[in-house]
Amino acid sequence: MIGFDYGTSNCAVGVMDGNRPMILPLGKHGRYIASSLYAPSREMIVNWLHRQLPAAEQHHFAQQRRLQLQKGQTELNELALDGISGELFFGRDALNSYLQEPDEGYYIKSPKSFLGASGLLPAQIELFEDIVAAMMSNVKTLTEASLGRAVTQTVIGRPVNFQGQRGEESNDQALAILTQAAKRVGFKEVEFQFEPVAAGFEYEASLNKETRVLVVDIGGGTTDCSMILMGPQQAQREDRSRDLLSHSGERVGGNDFDIAFALKGIMPAFGLNSLLASGKTMPANSYWQAVAINDIHQQTGFYSAANGRFLQQLVRDAAEPALVSRLLRVQKHKLSYRVVNAAEQSKIAFTEQTRQRIELCDIDNNLSLELSRDDFAQACQRELGRITSLMQSAITEAGTQPEVVFVTGGTAKSPVLKRFLQRAFPHTPIVVGDHFGSVTAGLTRWARRIYC
C-alpha cells in the first residue's frame, strides 16, 4: 500500500518505514517526478498505455478505444518511417523533449488542472483519462521497481474542489477520471483523502497537546484550507470527521502564480500594454490566452487558425510590430509552455535571490529580460488576495481562530508568500512544513490506517 500524491506540479509516493512515512525514490527522477508528459503525437498515448496495462485489462481497454488504437497504430507506422519511436516521456524528460522541438509532438503539463473542467466532450474526457492513466502507470512501475514488489492499494490526494465553477459536479467528474485511471493500471483498492487534511496528519505527529491548526496547502493547481483539531488523542481516532472544523478550497495555486507572472512580467516584451498605430490600446485577450496553460478552452482559442490570422493583422496594426511579432511566433511554434516555464523558473530563483535574468533568444534574437522579486509580488497580488480570502473563509466557517497556521506546498517556499502571510496573521505562529513532502507523508499514514 502507498500514499500517492498525484499533484498538479509533481507526483510522489510514500510507504511506511516502521512508524515513519518514507518518500520513495522514483528512479532517475528522485523523490519527485514533474507532472508532465510528452508524446511524439497525441495519438501515441493510447497505444503506449495499452501496452503497459495488466493483461486482464488490455482486452477490455482495446474494446473501449478501438478507433483510437487504430488511428494511433497508423500514426505509429508513419513515425517509424521517419525513425521516430512511439515511446512517451515523463517528468523532466518530457519538458526537455518539448523544449527541443516545441512545434512538434504533444506536451502537456499539469493535467490535473483540467480535471473537472466544464464543457469537456466525451472524447476529451477519454483523452484526459488516458493521460492520467499513462502517468499513473509510469509512477506505479517506478514504485514497484523501487520496492521490489507489486503495489495494489493506494490513497490518492485530492483538493477540496478541483474546479470552482460547478462544485460537486466538477469534483465527481475529476474523481471518476482518477479512480478509473488508477484501477485501469492495476490498483485494486483506491481511496482518496483531502490534501490539506493529509498535510495536517503529518504535522499532527509533532504535537503533544490539542491544537487548532489552520492547514493551508498551496498546490500547483489549487489552494485548500482546513481548520483541524489536532493532538495525540485525536491522532488515535479512526473517524476524524468531528475534528475537521471547516474546509475551503479554490482553483488558485502555483500554476496561477506562474501564469500571472508570465502575463505581467514577460508579456509586455511581446507587446502587452503597447499601442496600436491608431493610438488605441493593444487588445489583451490573446496575451492572456497565450499563457493560460491550465485552461483548455483558452489554449484551443489561442492556437486556432482564426487567431493566427488575427495576430497577423495585429502585427500590421501595431505601433511596435516587432514586439507583437514575438506573440505571433509563440502562436505559430506552440511556445506557451516555454514562456510560462521561464516565469516558473524565475519564481523558483526568487527563493534565494531578489533578481533574475531570463533568456528567450529561442523566441527572438537577443530577447533577454531582468525580473525582480518585487515584480513577482506585484504581478501576483490577485492570487495572494484569493489565498487570504480562502483562509478567512475557513476561519469563519469554523467559528474559531487558529492557534497555528501550517503552510505546505511548493509555493510555500516563496519569500513573497511568507511575507504576505505574516502580514495577514501577525499574531499567529506560522509553521512552514516540508514544501512537497507533507501531503505525501500524510497520505501514507492514512493508507496504513485504513488498509491495515
Q: Is residue 365 part of a domain?
A: yes
The pLDDT value given to residue 369:
95
Q: Report the domain count for the chain.
A: 3
pLDDT in tens, 289-325: 999 998 888 999 999 999 999 999 999 999 999 999 9
Residue 225 sits in a domain whose CATH number is: 3.30.420.40
Domain co-membership, 49 together with 176: yes
Domain co-membership, 185 together with 309: no
Q: Is residue 47 part of a domain?
A: yes
For the whole model, what pTM was predicted?
0.80
Domain co-membership, 366 together with 402: no
Pick the last residue of a domain from 333, 358, 379: 379
Q: Is residue 233 part of a domain?
A: yes
The pLDDT value given to residue 163:
67
Q: Is residue 262 part of a domain?
A: yes
Domain co-membership, 262 together with 361: yes
Q: Is residue 445 part of a domain?
A: no
Domain co-membership, 280 together with 161: no
* 276 touches 282 (CB < 8 A): yes
Domain co-membership, 355 together with 408: no
Domain co-membership, 109 together with 165: yes
Sign, Cα dihedral of 364, 370, 375, 380: positive
- Mean pLDDT by groups of 10 residues along the chain of 452 residues: 92 93 94 93 92 91 92 87 86 90 86 81 90 97 96 93 72 93 96 88 87 90 89 83 87 91 97 96 95 88 95 96 96 94 93 93 92 95 92 95 90 86 90 82 92 86
- Burial group, residue 313, by CB count within 10 angstroms (0-12, 13-18, 19+): exposed
Domain co-membership, 165 together with 213: no
Cell numbers standing for residue 451: 488498509
Pick the last residue of a domain from 335, 357, 379: 379
Domain co-membership, 233 together with 313: no
Of 116, 158, 111, 155, whose CA–CA distance to 131 is shortest?
111
Distances (CA, A) of 124 to 130, 174, 201: 10, 13, 35
E strand or H helix at 4? strand 2-6
Domain co-membership, 296 together with 408: no
Using alpha carbons only, give the angle 420, 424, 426 rounded to the nearest 5 degrees.
Answer: 105
Cα dihedral 54→60→61→64 (10° resolution): -170
The pLDDT value given to residue 168:
83
For 66-95, the DSSP string reads: HHHHHHHHHHHHHHHHTT-----EETHHHH
Mean pLDDT, the chain, integer: 91
Q: Is residue 447 part of a domain?
A: no
Q: Is residue 57 part of a domain?
A: yes
Cell numbers standing for residue 398: 469554523
pLDDT in tens, 69-106: 999 899 888 888 888 888 899 999 998 998 888 888 89
Domain co-membership, 15 together with 161: yes
Q: How many contiguous H segments (helices) and E segments (strands) does the chain have? A: 18, 16
Q: How far apart are CA 14 and CA 1, in angstroms?
A: 9
- Burial group, residue 79, by CB count within 10 angstroms (0-12, 13-18, 19+): middle
Domain co-membership, 134 together with 164: yes
Q: How far apart are CA 184 and CA 129, in angstroms?
A: 10
Q: Is residue 441 part of a domain?
A: no
426 is in which domain, residue-wise? 209-252+384-434
The pLDDT value given to residue 185:
95
